Amino acid sequence: PTVRLEDYRPSDHLIDRVELDVRLDPHDTRVTARLAIRPNPAGRPGAPLVLDGDDLRLLALDLDGQPLAPAAFRVAPSALTLPEPPGRPFTLTIETRIDPSANTKLMGLYRSNGVYCTQCEADGFRRITYFLDRPDVMAVYTTRIEAEEAQAPVLLGNGNPVESGRIEGTGRHFAVWHDPHPKPAYLFALVGGCLDRVAKSFDTREGRTVELAVHVEPGKAERAAYALDAVERSMVWDERAFGRAYDLDVFNVVAVSDFNMGAMENKGLNIFNDKFVLASPETATDADYAAIEAIIAHEYFHNWSGNRVTCRDWFQLCLKEGLTVFRDQEFSSDMRSRDVHRIGEVRTLRARQFPEDAGPLAHPVRPRQYAEINNFYTATVYEKGAEIVRMLRTLVGESAFRAGMDRYFSDNDGRAATVEDFLVAFEAESGRDLARFAEWYERPGTPRVAVTGTYDAAERTYRLDFRQTRPGAGDDAPPLVIPVRLGLVGPDGPLGEATCPQVEDGVFVLDAFEAALTFDDVTAPPVPSLFRGFSAPVRVDMAMDDADRLTLLRHDSDGFNRWEAAQRVAARLMIGALRGAATDAGADAFAAALGAFLDARALDDPAFAALVLALPSENDLADEIGAEIDPDAICSARRALRVRIGASLNPRLRALRDALAEPAGTPFSPDAASAGRRSLRSAALDLIAAADPADGTALARAQIAAATNMTDRLAGLSTLALLPGSAREAEFAAFAECYVDEPLVLDKWFAIQATIPEDGTIERVRRLQTHPAFAMTNPNRVRALVGSFALANPTQFNRADGAGFALTAETVLALDRTNPQVAARLMTAFGSWRRLEPVRRAAAESALRRILATPGLSRDVTDIAGRSLANR
């Protein structure tokens, strides 16, 4: 059943208070819900009360203390209906019975490694009790949790702890939690289990003392310290950057090992995939530390952007997700290097959102319809949603943006809001009409902006002509409002003296299909630096020769565009090569420019240099080419350029590795500067190995042997993964032996092997699926092995004989029986099938058709498979 935005109407009933009594038991958990319900003045008078359910069994039901006559209600696992509810406030008491151990969907209440936990977003609360499970129904919750004390000594709920105690003679105990802030059901959570914790207290600037705690599996407490520190830094930052302080006496984070997504912002009780909490130098890489910091911040920031101000309906998902991603990106940029972080953000957007926007799963940032909302937690809603917020800040300026945010929070506090409510706050503070800007939320497709530049030496003017188009958006789509941050660069650096009346604070607002700009006082032919900082999520088409781009790499004041310049040159060289326009001279000129760049800057900013050395990925190139993709050809073209660069830069790369080596005995630190040095050392290793496999093997093995942390060890192993031979297999075996008892570390090992671009990989993945550490019931294991194969191994997933599609389809179908949400996620790997060359396209299509024709397929997978095949 398709849900449509235009069909939204307020609920006919509201629920003001919820009192839950949850008696936990592995198979027979009893939930009693007392709901204070009343007719909604904004609803239809006399409407029936229809409470949502999913897989529920009703044990008892009464209204204002009286059992309801059988004729007064209808019940099914999926709904509880009172055809004629009282036309006044009343209390409904519902008892249901659930089996947490049998809950393999990991939605609702389930057990993960013996720990009771919940996941209710988007619609999991209805798997706990019958309820109006929609975000515009907000209630104050009191939760009593009871469990066997030996099994679950720790009992956590939303809000503040109120009371706890033993139930004498039963071996059971209880805890009562009260959350004073009204919230939608999707923010409900509880946890019960054996957990260790690290904690510290924090004073908010409003004078509230908050107990911060991170709870993890017994024995892992020392791996929780970094997450706890990130919680505290997030709180400090949100007070300073957005004026947002925390609003309860406790803030709990719990790590569980079976979790469908990354983490969840339940009020006062964030529940995390343990991958995004647990870190030690021996088990976590620098990238893991950065992800933990970002996701801890993301979930904490939801306390205001999501919880205090929530969404009216699920079409408004970007209202909390896009905004919260923007906020966590700003936080990470302040904690680390802003340019380096921005490059990372754009790499993610291009790797995940651009292909989505270009394929059959494209949808607007605010979708207008859905069959399964859990399939809309996408890169478009999250990442493109964040870009819209960033563009808004660029348009209205820093101070109106901050004032608009304050106004949005205060005008909507305690409400379930819409995208319109968000924009109106910025209109009020900036005086700017944002009606046309709002179009960014409404249609799919990545805009293209074509630019041409003309220099007039006699007039000393430089003219830029812009033209925007929107593939996929429809012929009637109006022009977008696109902020273009730009400047001109000369042979020796930025041309400060050139001026242009339409450019204000370095930004030109392109708001028509076509527009032109003229700069005055341009003394020499300039190189334009366009979309500085990636000021809009668009594709830019501008013919520019390599020499001009390399001028930008040397001289632009904008870090993002310096990096982008090198990427553009590399992409042009590789795509040129695979089209048979061999350009050895171009490749050598590029290598020389990279060498000069490394000499000038590598040691000042190793993290940035590492990003410059990482050429566009195979998927980046496929996205750029856009049609008739042959992944094998792309892979070889990319390999060839890496070989050439590695050979040409070998002495420099070796010298850099030596210069960046940590003196023996240096203690590990996950800070950005240390991480940057490690990443440049490994980027250098990778290029050395591309050109000289024997040397690369020796260096990689030496790096693994000497490694004192997971980052260096894994980088060595990743380099070896591309070098077939017995050394590689020996290192794989040694690694597995060393980390038998570390599932999160073995995930890295699964992932590296699944992404080897060789014919044998499919057999390897099949073999690994039977490895004792692999489990189809654990989403992290599935994503590490099969997810990495399907999403990050373009040559093998897209094998012309269809074997890669078949392996993925088999896994999707097997998983769909137990966990449809994760199965549907894996299915998105097929999202770019239409751009493949005909043989592979046909193989992908037949795999998709096979999946769709399978009897008993979940709604989740049916939705993705159906949309993937739909004609556009």
Could you give the residue numbers annotated as active site? 299
Q: How far apart are CA 384 and CA 399, in angstroms?
A: 23
Residue 729 CB-density burial (10 A; 0-12 exposed, 13-18 middle, 19+ buried): exposed
Query: Of 328 and 339, which has the nearer Cβ to ligand ARG?
Result: 328
Q: How far is the CB of 184 from ligand ARG (least distance, A)?
A: 12
In the complex, the smallest distance separating the C-beta of residue 98 from ligand ARG, rounded to whole angstroms, is 18
Minimum Å distance from CB 616 to Zn ion?
Answer: 28
- Is 546 an interacting residue with respect to ligand ARG (CB under 6 A)? no
CB nearer ligand ARG, residue 314 or residue 833: 314
Largest CA distance in the chain: 97
Partner touching 793 among Zn ion, ligand ARG, none, CB below 5 to 8 Å by kind: none
Question: Is residue 495 within 8 Å of 461, Cβ to Cβ?
Answer: no
Instruction: Rank residues 324 and 619 by Cβ distance to Zn ion and give the closer one.
Output: 324
108 torsion bin: left (phi>0), alpha (psi -120 to 50), beta (else): left
Nearer Cβ to Zn ion, position 325 or 637? 325
Return the sign of the alpha-carbon dihedral for residues 32, 36, 38, 43: negative
CA 687 to chain centre: 29
Spatial separation of the C-alpha atoms in residues 608 and 343, rounded to whole Å: 9
Q: Which two tokens stand for residue 183?
A: 């919230």
Q: How far is the CB of 359 from ligand ARG (least distance, A)?
A: 21
Distance CA 747, CA 787 (A): 11
Contact window for ligand ARG (CB under 6 A) among 25-33, 262-270, 574-582, 836-844: 262-270
CA distance 576 to 629: 14
From 259-267, 347-355, 362-370, 846-854, span contacting ligand ARG (CB under 6 A)? 259-267
Q: What is the DSSP string of 541-575?
A: E----HHHHHHHHHH-S-HHHHHHHHHHHHHHHHH
Task: Kindly indicate which of the ranges 137-145, 166-174, 193-201, 261-269 contains the residues binding ligand ARG, using the contact rule CB under 6 A.
Answer: 261-269
Cβ burial of 603 (10 Å; 0-12, 13-18, 19+) is middle
Q: Could you say whether residue 121 binds ligand ARG (CB under 6 A)?
A: yes
Count of residues interacting with Zn ion (CB under 5 A): 2
Picked from Zn ion, ligand ARG, none, the partner binding residue 261 (CB below 5 to 8 A depending on kind) is ligand ARG
Residue 250 interacts with ligand ARG (CB under 6 A)?
no
* Residue 620 binding partner per list ligand ARG, Zn ion, none, with a CB distance cut-off of 5 to 8 Å that depends on partner kind: none
Residue 454 one-letter amino acid: T
Determine, following the binding rule CB under 6 A, whether residue 548 of this chain makes contact with ligand ARG: no
Which two tokens mark 142?
């009191």
Picked from Zn ion, ligand ARG, none, the partner binding residue 374 (CB below 5 to 8 A depending on kind) is ligand ARG
Structure tokens that stand for 213 in this block: 């705690």
Nearest approach in angstroms of CB 782 to ligand ARG is 15
Q: How far is the CB of 381 from ligand ARG (least distance, A)?
A: 10
- The residue (of 553 and 815) whose beta carbon lies closer to ligand ARG is 815
Binding mask 78-117 for ligand ARG (x = CB under 6 A): ----------------------------------------
CA contacts within 13 A on the Cβ side of 260: 29
- Residue 261 contacts ligand ARG per CB under 6 A: yes
Contact between 291 and ligand ARG by CB under 6 A: the answer reads no
Q: Please name the amino acid found at residue 846.
A: S
Shortest distance, position 349 Cβ to Zn ion, whole Å: 16
The CA angle 221-226-232, to the nearest 5 degrees, is 110
Cβ closest to ligand ARG, residue 237 vs residue 560: 237
* Binding to ligand ARG in span 344-383, by CB under 6 A: 374, 377
Cβ-proximal residues to 719 (8 Å cutoff; 6+ apart), any chain: 682, 685, 686, 689, 696, 699, 700, 703
- Contact partner at residue 329 from ligand ARG, Zn ion, none, CB < 5 to 8 Å by partner kind: none
CB of 821 to Zn ion, least distance (A): 16
CB of 726 to ligand ARG, least distance (A): 43
Name which of 323 and 552 has its Cβ closer to ligand ARG.
323
* Residue corresponding to tokens 């309860």: 248
Question: Interface with ligand ARG includes 264 (CB under 6 A)?
Answer: yes
Nearer to ligand ARG, 54 or 321 (CB): 321
Give me the least distance between CB of 299 and ligand ARG, in Å please: 6
Touching ligand ARG, residues 492-531 (CB under 6 A): none
**Residue 530 binding: pick among Zn ion, ligand ARG, none (C-beta 5-8 Å cut-off by kind):** none
Q: Candidates 146, 265, 605, 623: give the one binding ligand ARG (CB under 6 A).
A: 265
Binders of Zn ion among 311-350, rule CB under 5 A?
A: 321, 324
Answer for the pair 158, 188: CB distance below 8 angstroms, yes or no: yes
By CB atoms closer than 10 A (0-12, 13-18, 19+), residue 150 is: exposed
- Partner from ligand ARG, Zn ion, none contacting 263, C-beta within 5 to 8 A by type: ligand ARG
Q: Does 717 bind ligand ARG (CB under 6 A)?
A: no
| Distance separating the N- and C-terminal Cα atoms of the chain | 20
Residue 265 or 429 with smaller CB distance to Zn ion: 265
Strands 461-469 and 514-519: antiparallel
Which residue number, 378 or 798, has a Cβ lying nearer to ligand ARG? Answer: 378
Closer residue to ligand ARG (CB): 320 or 835: 320
Instruction: Name which position in 286, 288, 321, 328 contacts ligand ARG (CB under 6 A).
Output: 321
How many angstroms separate the CA atoms of 533 and 555, rounded? 15
Task: Tell whether the torsion through CA atoms of 164, 166, 171 and 172 is positive or negative.
Answer: negative
Binding span for ligand ARG by CB under 6 A among 129-137, 257-265, 402-410, 650-658: 257-265
Q: Which one, 294 or 593, has the nearer CB to Zn ion?
A: 294
Q: How far is the CB of 717 from Zn ion (least distance, A)?
A: 32
* d(C-alpha 240, C-alpha 232), whole Å: 13
In order of 19, 42, 60, 367, 391, the CA distances from 66 in angstroms are 17, 28, 11, 43, 56
Q: Cβ distance 735 to 717 under 8 Å?
A: yes
Task: Give the span between the Cα atoms of 315 and 312, in whole angstroms.
Answer: 8
CB of 820 to ligand ARG, least distance (A): 11
Nearest 5°: the CA angle 849, 850, 854 is 115
Q: Which is nearer to Zn ion, 54 or 321 (CB)?
A: 321
Residue 122 found at the interface with ligand ARG (CB under 6 A): yes
863 binds, among ligand ARG, Zn ion, none (CB under 5 to 8 A by kind): none
Distance, CA of 326 to CA of 351 (rounded, Å): 18
**Of 238, 286, 299, 345, the one binding ligand ARG by CB under 6 A:** 299
**From the list Zn ion, ligand ARG, none, which binds 642 (C-beta under 5 to 8 Å, kind-based)?**
none
Size of the site for ligand ARG (CB under 6 A): 13
List the interface residues with Zn ion, window 262-321 (CB under 5 A).
Answer: 321
Q: 256 Cβ partners below 8 Å, 6+ apart?
A: 112, 113, 115, 117, 271, 272, 273, 274
Other beta carbons less than 10 A from residue 855's beta carbon = 4
User: Cis before residue 122, ω within 30 degrees of 0?
Assistant: yes
Give CA–CA dist 656/603, Å, rounded: 8
In the list 142, 260, 551, 648, the residue contacting ligand ARG (rule: CB under 6 A) is 260
Shortest separation between residue 532's beta carbon and ligand ARG, angstroms: 29
Q: Which residues bind ligand ARG (CB under 6 A)?
A: 121-122, 260-265, 298-299, 321, 374, 377
Q: Which residues bind Zn ion (CB under 5 A)?
A: 321, 324
